[in-house]
Amino acid sequence: MIAPKSAHFGHMLLYVGWPLLLLFVWDLLVVIGYTVLNWTWLASKSLPLALYGSAIGVIVGFRNNSAYGRWWEARTLWGQIVNNSRSLARQVCTTMRPSQESEQNDLLGLRRRLIYQQIAFVHALRQQLRGLSPWEELSRLLESGEIEALRAERNIPLAIQQMMGHALREAKDRRWVDALEWQAMDRNLDDLADAQGGTERIKNTPMPKQYDYFPMLFVQIFCVLLPMAMVEQLGWFTPLGSTLVGFMFLALDKIGRDLEDPFDNTIYDVPMTAITANIETNLRQLLGEKELPEAVKPVKGVLW
């Protein structure tokens, strides 16, 4: 996620990049053809560009709203994961109690295992959504036997949740939690599974290709026709006016395409690295640990 303190005009121009440069070159060619080569057929004031531009604005705006809706839903789902992770860890730390004094160490071990499995779950989900390997993150959080069991699984976050379910059942069987407390923690696992399913739905259901292809095609046609409608009135100033107007349409088109896939491991992603690091810090703090990971900070204006 881009998180600069202030906008930079140069960065905004580079954001569109080559399409903007090609538009400027095309504007120059139209001006040279009309003014130097006397190709009067290049000028056409009768082109209904005002109506065409309005229609494109509606189409691109609708597509961008849909793309931002996907991005914001992805961020909302990760907000649910943050809240449920904290709630589950709090319940594990405050409701589990040994039925006998001799079980205190076993209880502490199970408590730590559950919370570290939850930390592993969020890191594994982040890596799965980005299409990256999770093993480096998981190796520092889970036991070797758990890692080996997970290597045979296709959906690693789901398998970690199953491990957590078994651990909660063990706590119930050993009477470290009562039935109501167990149900409350199990509901948190259900909510985490719902949030995971929501993120996977966004990841596995891309925007329809028509939403990408046709707005981009319409914007490109508009940019090609724009200098032809301006050259008779603006002359050599046509590249200035046409490029500025084209820049707005090109930027709007690119914004929508950047936001529609919030888990693509790009600078426009939901900042899952920062979110999962924050979850890990919170959960390890609930365990009473003092050496906590530092918060993830923006690098060159990008928060990962």
Q: What is the pLDDT along the chain (304 residues), one digit of tens a residue?
A: 666 655 555 556 666 778 878 888 888 888 888 787 777 777 776 667 777 778 888 888 888 888 889 999 999 999 999 999 999 999 988 888 887 777 788 888 888 899 999 999 999 999 999 999 999 889 888 888 899 999 988 899 999 999 999 999 988 888 888 889 888 888 999 999 999 999 999 999 888 777 778 888 888 888 888 888 877 777 888 888 888 888 888 888 888 888 888 888 888 888 999 999 999 999 999 888 788 787 777 777 677 7
Which amino acid does the sequence have at 148? E
Predicted model pTM: 0.82
Instruction: Count, in order, helices (H) and strands (E) of the chain.
Output: 11, 0
Amino acid identity of residue 161, one-letter, is: Q
What's the CA gap between 275 and 74, in Å, rounded? 12
Q: Is 265 helix (H, G, I), strand (E, B) or coil?
A: coil
Separation between Cα atoms, residue 162 and residue 165, nearest integer Å: 5
> What letter does residue 39 receive in the DSSP assignment?
-
Residue with tokens 């078994």: 166
**Where are the strands (E) in 10-87, listed by range?**
none
Decide: helix, strand or coil at residue 2.
Answer: strand
Enumerate residues 6+ apart whose C-beta is below 8 A from 221: none
CA distance 277 to 298: 13
What does the block give as tokens for 234? 């603006």
| Residue appearing with tokens 């890596």 | 127
Question: Whose CA is closest to 253, among 228, 223, 230, 229?
Answer: 223
Q: Where are the domains of the chain?
A: 81-191+272-304
| Measured distance CA(9)–CA(53) in Å, rounded | 24
Q: How far apart are the first and last CA of the chain?
A: 6
Distances (CA, A) of 126 to 52, 120, 134, 203: 42, 10, 8, 11
Q: Report whether 63 contacts 247 (CB < 8 A).
A: no
